[in-house]
Structure 1
Amino acid sequence: MQQIHREAMAGRTVLISGGTAGIGRATALGLAAMGAHLAIIGRDRGRTDHAAREIRAAGGGQVDVFVADLSSQAQVRHLADELLHNVPRIHVLINNVGGYWNTRHLTADRLERTFALNHLAAFLLTNLLLDRLRQNGPSRVVTVSSNAHATGRIDFDDLQCERSYSGTRAYNQSKLANILFTYELARRLQATSVTANALHPGVTSTTFGAEDPSRAQRLFVPLMRPFMKTPARGAVTSIHLASAPDLAQVTGQYFTNSKPKRSSKRSYDEAAAARLWRVSADLVGLSAAPTTA
């Protein structure tokens, strides 16, 4: 595990979605120990306040709390307004929130929940905060994907899994979308001081998927848990991408175990990435115009 330097992130503000438990909470703890000012986003007020108290008690400094269900576009927009009003500087945005559902669920926007939370929430929040990130450059966008993207495919004819639903297929599609989004964002931000990278945290022991687990999860996860990473170890690559000085100008890369790695062949399809950007912009009501300085 990488060595943590107490003041390495002093003066830097880091925003983490899904920062109340698992990898997100461990990422917040690690960056707080490096002197960062944290802003954590959670869905539940009580859990988010509790996580903030834990981070402060562990030696973290300032920890701001924001509450939003990021599967709802209205709540993402309200959150962005709150952040822009209350957090004058954002140096790192970590798109960490994500989920898995064995059965098909719809959001308040009548979108399939996996695609809405795992991809569209990051797409919308990042775009709404880009001006603030540019103003405080050099800054970074870090998006938590998964090696599950390697078996993912973007089905533009059925993005919402209306014809047939599989929790695994929906999840893998969303994780491929994370990487396509990251690479396209990096291309659009080439002339700026904002970098964009994605990562695989490793198979980590958390409550991920517990809300609506598959039969295989219920059977095999308890058996696999002793061999999984702890949340602290699962957070190492996120912390590295958020803080490592030698990554200040590295962009458009995929990392695992804190090292760059080739992602799947489909993830480098620039035409698919550009199309996904346009479709995503339409779904969240944003202009698909290039994101330039």
Structure 2
Amino acid sequence: MTLKIWTWKKKYEGFLAYSRSKLALIMFTFDLADELTAKNIIVNAIHPATLMKTNMVSEHFGIPLSSVKKGRKALTALASSKEVTGEFFDGKRRAKALEQAYDIKSREKLKRMTEDHLYNYLKT
């Protein structure tokens, strides 16, 4: 993910935006896990299932490859686990996220960009 691209001033690309948002969520999840480890709060990122039968999948991809039930089972298993934190899962198995998700400098930059972008909305 190129962190310079933030506001889509040129041409908006839906799938690229979706992919970048998922990477950003994984990056934020890893940071949150680091912050909450001392409090014994478990935080993980999960890709519950590929192309589940949802409205978004039906509208953009057609035939689903997996069920919402399968995704729910993966989410439930991970949410009830107390064994691991700060990890990425593909379904019920531990997986490797994109390399940028593990890069602390990229995560710090994303956090700063997010805070800068939201500053006017969040100031009191």
Superposed CA RMSD: 2.1
Distance in structure 2 (CA, Å) of the matches to 1:269 and 1:178: 14
Residue of structure 2 aligned with 1:268, choices 99, 102, 108: 102
| Structure 1 position 173, deviation (Å) | 0.5
Counterpart among 281, 284, 287 of residue 115 in structure 2:
281
- The aligned residue for residue 156 of structure 1 is 3
Q: Which structure 1 segments of 5+ residues have no match?
A: 1-152, 288-293
Give the alignment partner of residue 66 of structure 2, picking from 223, 229, 233: 229
What does 1:91-110 align with in structure 2 at a 5 Å threshold?
A: none
Alignment of 1:54-203 (within 5 A): 153=1, 155-202=2-49, 203=51
Deviation for aligned residue 1:169: 0.9
Q: Secondary structure at the match of 2:10?
A: coil
Local SS of the residue matching 1:199: strand
Q: Distance in 2 between matches of 1:243 and 1:186?
A: 16
- Tell me by how many angstroms 1:257 deviates: 2.3
- What percentage of aligned pairs have identical amino acids? 29
1:255 offset after TM fit, Å? 0.8
Which one of the candidate residues 239, 261, 272 is aligned to 2:76?
239
Return the structure number with greater helix share: 2
Match of 1:254 among 80, 83, 88: 88
SS in structure 1 of the partner of residue 39 of structure 2: coil
What CA deviation, in whole Å up to 9, does each residue of 1:178-231 have, x standing for no partner? Answer: 111111111222322212100011120111266xx5xxx2xx51xx23xx2121
Q: Deviations over 1:141-170 (max 9, x none)?
A: xxxxxxxxxxxx1x3222121222111111
Larger strand percent: 1
Distance (Å, rounded) in 2 between the aligned partners of 1:280 and 1:198:
19
Taking CA–CA contacts closer than 8 Å with sequence separation of 6 or more, which of the two structures ends up with the larger relative contact order?
Answer: 2
